[in-house]
Structure 1
């Protein structure tokens, strides 16, 4: 066991006026299994870069261990997988590699195939196995789940649960809950560490938020009461002061000593009220700084003239001689939220393409309602560019609603001025989801919409969908999201 100490860490990218981190202090035990969470754009990957000494910063990061980052950059993907592993870590024992691959259910034959021929899931598992061959290093694992189906996620999560000494960036709640024992969270104003898994951290956060909201309400009432009292005391003081050089109503002379004493007493009382008022304002200013909240939204989907929108009966899709999927049968009715479930390559995206109107070679019966309007969110975000106002205009959507949804998903107003191409992967996905929710359609189809999107935004999207209740067909490997959202699950 050793410690990683972060002291007075302050960092901003060159040319930026905003610090991503400012006077941050915390301590990490290298035996911990840390889940790293925080909104998109808050600096998770940046912090990992600072640990790897990629950037100049002020403050101090001290550690008696080296750091390794996942995913490794593979320079020569055409090489056999065994050669790729040798490039990453030349000094390993072959039996150790076989042990790690066995734990990850990867067969030995992948070692003798070109790395580029492996599926995304196989590549992820091989690189993780190579990562854990290294000893005495603290491991920085950045979003390993993005290319894993649900079964593979469970397998990798179980694998990581047997390890220790890492920071894991993941936005999958079930994945985190299964394999971490501490949470490192980047909040709006600070970084904090708590013992436990993600669900423990989230329950603590909700308790803290509710406590702060109650305290804020109490202090707001106190401040109003004290302000009213200060105003009354000030009025009394003014009235007393007026009598100092005059007479009492009875016509007798004023006792100036008495009046002066009374005025001084009132002044002291007024100062006491003012001091308590300032203390209450100061206490209130410390509250609500890390609460993740935003306004509710009103969104509506078009009603279709028939209850049944789409029907598939024994549909099989082919690419040449290759069968992408076989004998798929289900219907989509208004109000359904259907999750397509199955391992990568089982044909889920092919079914989506068919429903969206692409020309596909298929057998079986496929019916789609005439005049059915569909909004599609793809996995790919590489085409996004330009500013958000022009993007809304070009896509014929309500700019105010579009930006309101993005505000709910933690976009700052400064972000609205930037080019979309500079956004993080998660922010780009939010742009596609916000656009889809603004479109006047009968059916939403989302293909792995949550890749790169932070956990809190995932929960907000859940809330939005449950409140708004659109007809939705989606592919998503986040088991918690599927459990909460899907009214039907179609297994491939």
Structure 2
């Protein structure tokens, strides 16, 4: 269906692909993996024709429709979210717009004298809308938007008033409604809450076209893909299986390659030693010559190219008192919307609370109350003795000084630390070599998140309050963070839509629902077992 045949591609001085081949066949669901900057987005852009390979070719079967979702959503305003989603389905959207305009005209008393003409035109347009399957399409568009957690009000409101994250969902919904022959999804799991993520998982499992996607959510990838294409060091390697199979297979291949390399090195060392020992003796001249020739002909094995993953070890945090945070009879509202009424919670030392609930349930509000970034309307929030808190929020990324470099930011925050340890810290969070000289205003969302995390964890607090800490992190950095936090001795309160993160790190669950607030002893895995659901919004 889509084939990459011996493609090569260079981006300024960096070689992305070198004589690489791979294929996306009908009905296949493929995960595209590789380190940041390896060329995943370039591969998508070559399929859509936005970029061309320097050599080789990308061939696509005739009449194959392709839907491409990426993070660059573009301008959206002046239409409802439903109209914007239906726009991806072709001419029916223009008819839907005229229909809406005529409905508004029929309700306008100032246009009473034109009513006959308007009604006549409405009949024609309505017939055309039906003919194009417009009513079914609108129903499907609303179904997709509801799956991505839109309320009816948001579906019918102006798409221009939505935040960037919600516009991203509108762009994703357009592709899903279109149901093309091949779907290219670049990070579709970003900006989604857990309920939307689980809905999308089900949708993609039922989609019968070909799928090529990237995702920083290993659980999401594991449940959908049946094949992995890895981009690394200019080559494309295919693995038949899910993400976990790929990880095991890759580790096994590396082990075998290392063993092969070591065996050959030992054999070469032995041969070279023989040659060195006997090269001056005439009696061994023939033997020495034949061994030199043999060595010249041997194809040398390369050692495995290991990705540089730096582990981050927490310095031990000072011990806090037993009661880390206590909320008593807390009430909190925003306007007419009540979030908490008489809420009580005690967080004790070494507890790791994950907070769950649908959008608007009050997850971030709780974290703000505990962190002192918001005040309760009534009631008290107190933090225990000897508690040193680290609070990570999306807002923290906005307050980085754009003119400072990564290293200057670390240096000014920890003026007494030596340069070596700050560079080691930067390396753990993916800033190696010249990356530390990048100014903060040029950093991507993921890089900013990593820098804020590094600032927070260098001198570790004994109480971590984390609001979606993995939102912008790639799979490798996320894995490093999960391993580091698994060994962390302090207390945690966090919100995350990453099920691997939730399952590995939580030992308590706080569930916020319209029916009430429930506390579960045991982590996310036990919560799923006892409720039979992976997220509160799925109770039905």
Per the TM superposition, whether the score is higher than 0.5 is yes
The alpha carbon displacement at 1:309 in A equals 1.8
Tell me the distance in 1 between the aligned counterparts of 2:90 and 2:351. Answer: 52
The alpha carbon displacement at 1:191 in A equals 2.2
Find 1:45's aligned residue among 41, 44, 64.
41
Tell me the distance in 2 between the aligned counterparts of 1:201 and 1:433. Answer: 28
SS at the partner of 2:387? coil
State whether structure 2 residue 85 is matched by structure 1 residue 85.
Answer: yes
Q: Deviations over 1:351-409 (max 9, x none)?
A: 21122222413333422125632222222434443322101112227454444344345
Match of 1:73 in 2: 73
Q: Is the 8 A contact 1:5 1:27 kept in 2?
A: yes
Q: Is the 8 A contact 1:174 1:479 kept in 2?
A: yes
Q: Is the 8 A contact 2:69 2:175 kept in 1?
A: yes
Match of 2:178 in 1: 134
Find 1:404's aligned residue among 418, 424, 431.
424
Find 2:393's aligned residue among 378, 387, 401.
378
SS at the partner of 1:452? coil
The alpha carbon displacement at 1:119 in A equals 7.8
State whether structure 2 residue 59 is matched by structure 1 residue 62.
Answer: yes
Distance 1:169 1:274, change over 3 A: closer
State whether structure 2 residue 484 is matched by structure 1 residue 464.
Answer: yes
Q: Is the 8 A contact 2:142 2:155 kept in 1?
A: no
Q: Deviations over 1:240-298 (max 9, x none)?
A: 4xxxxxxxxxxxxxxxxxxx3x131452365267558x65xx21x2x311x33445444
SS at the partner of 1:234? helix
Match of 1:247 in 2: none
1:165-184 equivalent positions in 2, closer than 5 A: 165-184=210-229
TM-score (norm 2): 0.75
Q: Is the 8 A contact 1:310 1:368 kept in 2?
A: yes
Match of 2:191 in 1: 147
TM-score (norm 1): 0.82
The alpha carbon displacement at 1:153 in A equals 0.9
State whether structure 2 residue 439 is matched by structure 1 residue 419.
Answer: yes
SS at the partner of 2:487? helix
Distance 1:442 1:376, change over 3 A: same
Question: Tell me, which stretches of 5 or more residues in structure 2 are unaligned?
Answer: 93-132, 513-540
SS at the partner of 2:14? coil
Tell me the distance in 2 between the aligned counterparts of 1:40 and 1:477. Answer: 21
Tell me the distance in 1 between the aligned counterparts of 2:269 and 2:475. Answer: 37
The alpha carbon displacement at 1:182 in A equals 2.0
Match of 2:206 in 1: 162
Bigger CA radius of gyration: 1
Find 2:366's aligned residue among 337, 347, 351.
351
The alpha carbon displacement at 1:417 in A equals 3.2
Find 2:410's aligned residue among 386, 389, 392.
392
The alpha carbon displacement at 1:84 in A equals 1.7
Question: Tell me, which stretches of 5 or more residues in structure 1 are unaligned?
Answer: 241-259
Match of 2:284 in 1: 263
State whether structure 2 residue 97 is matched by structure 1 residue 98.
Answer: no
1:4-403 equivalent positions in 2, closer than 5 A: 4-12=3-11, 16-59=12-55, 60-64=57-61, 65-71=64-70, 73=73, 75-92=75-92, 93-94=133-134, 95-99=136-140, 101-102=142-143, 105-106=146-147, 110-116=154-160, 126-134=170-178, 136-163=180-207, 164-227=209-272, 229-230=273-274, 233-238=275-280, 240=281, 260=282, 262-268=283-289, 271=292, 274-275=295-296, 279=299, 282-283=300-301, 285=302, 287-289=303-305, 291-370=306-385, 372-380=387-395, 381-384=397-400, 385=402, 386-396=404-414, 398=417, 399-403=419-423
Tell me the distance in 1 between the aligned counterparts of 2:296 and 2:309. Answer: 33
Match of 1:257 in 2: none
Distance 1:101 1:123, change over 3 A: farther
Q: Is the 8 A contact 2:310 2:480 kept in 1?
A: no
Distance 1:77 1:391, change over 3 A: same
State whether structure 2 residue 511 is matched by structure 1 residue 491.
Answer: yes
Distance 1:265 1:23, change over 3 A: closer
Tell me the distance in 2 between the aligned counterparts of 1:362 and 1:301. Answer: 36
The alpha carbon displacement at 1:118 in A equals 6.0
The alpha carbon displacement at 1:482 in A equals 0.8
SS at the partner of 2:394? coil
Q: Is the 8 A contact 2:45 2:51 kept in 1?
A: yes
SS at the partner of 2:476? helix
SS at the partner of 1:19? strand
Tell me the distance in 1 between the aligned counterparts of 2:443 and 2:163. Answer: 27
Tell me the distance in 2 between the aligned counterparts of 1:219 and 1:425. Answer: 44
Q: Please, which moves more after superposition, 479-488 or 406-415?
A: 406-415
Tell me the distance in 2 between the aligned counterparts of 1:226 and 1:362. Answer: 81
Distance 1:409 1:393, change over 3 A: closer
Over aligned residue pairs, what C-alpha RMSD do you find? Answer: 3.0
Q: Is the 8 A contact 2:87 2:174 kept in 1?
A: no
Distance 1:334 1:6, change over 3 A: farther
